[in-house]
Structure 1
Amino acid sequence: MTRTHFPGIIAMAVIVVASNILVQFLYGNWLTWGAFTYPLAFLVTDVMNRVYGTAAARRVVLAGFVVGIICSLIGTQIMGEFGPLVTVRIAIASGLAFLTAQMLDVGIFAALRDGAWWKAPLVSTLLGSTVDTIIFFSIAFSGALSFVHAGTDVSWASEVLPILGSGPAAPLWVSLAVADWAVKLSLALVALVPFRMITARLRAP
């Protein structure tokens, strides 16, 4: 690891910490403010991958994973109105989703590295974000996976409602997942602009 990797590690740590804080604050009926900061982790990973290579990107991901674990451990010790701010299930879901999705992003980016400049960051982020959403929300809230931590009460997430208030009926957690996924996909497109600008600046002689 070199000093050139530190900005990426710091950026990833800031995003992970900010997202863990902002996830406590609701935005509308289906989202939290953390939904708008967390996808930036994919931007950091992709910039590191493009400029410094796959190994550097993986180091940044692992640093973010460690920071996320620390945040989760702290959250499990802080009591809110309805119990710990971070339950065991959410901690497991968050860590597994982050590590799996980010490493998938790194691998897909590497495979598409030699294509058009936008293809690697866009495809890797879209697929990584999709996997992240599926893993996190199913492990954290699905009734079928209650064995992950039987002591965590997520019955509220199983209430059957129209998806996003107007679609077919499904458990509430599905609406939360769909809304979160939509934000990730939207930001994947928007992030192409800063990705292009940042990588061009860092790679300039």
Structure 2
Amino acid sequence: MVRTYLPGVLAMATIVVASNILVQFLFGQWLTWGAFTYPFAFLVTDLMNRMYGASAARRVIFVGFIVGVICSLIGTQIQGEFGPLVTLRIAIGSGTAFLVAQLIDVSIFSALKNGKWWRAPLASSIVGSTLDTALFFTIAFSAALIFLEPANDVSWANEALPILGFGPVAPLWVSLAVADWGVKLTLALIALVPFKALVTRWQKQQSA
């Protein structure tokens, strides 16, 4: 890996590891602490894309994917109160969602990077975050995909409840997905601040 990319690689690896750990701890009724760290993976991808191009961003993504796979493999060997911390469906959902969403993020960012400075990171993060949430929760918990891991009981995630406690009735995992998506969208907006600051600093260094 080119040394120039090292900060991005380390940042992505740190976010992935931290999110895999923090996802084990609940925050309120619908979220885990991991929901607040994982979205910054999109910030790292967008920074790498802006500074070094799409190829560099994809390299960092693949490092994050490999780290995530390792974390999942470790999680399958750790027994929690209700079985392994990471089931096969969660592992498949996590890896698929990360890789697809991040690569789509790169494509959208690259297509919009010559426009207003905020358009590319915001649009790519929103689309990527939406895909990430939809893919992960559907693969990991939907009853329609029970064939992926028949021995894994996901009936708890398919209990019919009002969405977020007050909306229309839907499986519990839909509420979890909506809450997670809301955090991702919020952080996509917040991340514009460090994105702008870091890119501006980098540009000044390049012109010095």
- TM-score of the pair, normalised by structure 1: 0.99
Correspondence 1:150-169 to 2 at 5 A: 150-169=150-169
- AA matched with 2:106: V
Looking at structure 2, the residues matched to 30 and 74 of structure 1 have their Cα atoms a distance apart, in angstroms, of 25
Query: CA RMSD, aligned part only?
Result: 0.6
C-alpha displacement at 1:65, in angstroms? 0.1
- Give CA-to-partner distance per residue, 1:155-203, whole Å, 9 cap, x none: 1000000000000100000000000000000000000000000111122
| DSSP-derived class of the 1:153 partner | coil
Looking at structure 2, the residues matched to 198 and 148 of structure 1 have their Cα atoms a distance apart, in angstroms, of 42
| DSSP-derived class of the 2:29 partner | coil
How many residue pairs get matched? 205
Residue ranges of structure 2 left out of the alignment (5+ in a row) = none
Percent of paired sites with the same residue: 70
Correspondence 1:1-205 to 2 at 5 A: 1-204=1-204, 205=207
Looking at structure 1, the residues matched to 14 and 133 of structure 2 have their Cα atoms a distance apart, in angstroms, of 21
C-alpha displacement at 1:2, in angstroms? 1.5
Looking at structure 1, the residues matched to 145 and 178 of structure 2 have their Cα atoms a distance apart, in angstroms, of 19
Looking at structure 1, the residues matched to 54 and 148 of structure 2 have their Cα atoms a distance apart, in angstroms, of 32
Looking at structure 2, the residues matched to 203 and 2 of structure 1 have their Cα atoms a distance apart, in angstroms, of 19
- AA matched with 1:11: A
| DSSP-derived class of the 1:161 partner | strand
Looking at structure 1, the residues matched to 9 and 42 of structure 2 have their Cα atoms a distance apart, in angstroms, of 13
Residue ranges of structure 1 left out of the alignment (5+ in a row) = none
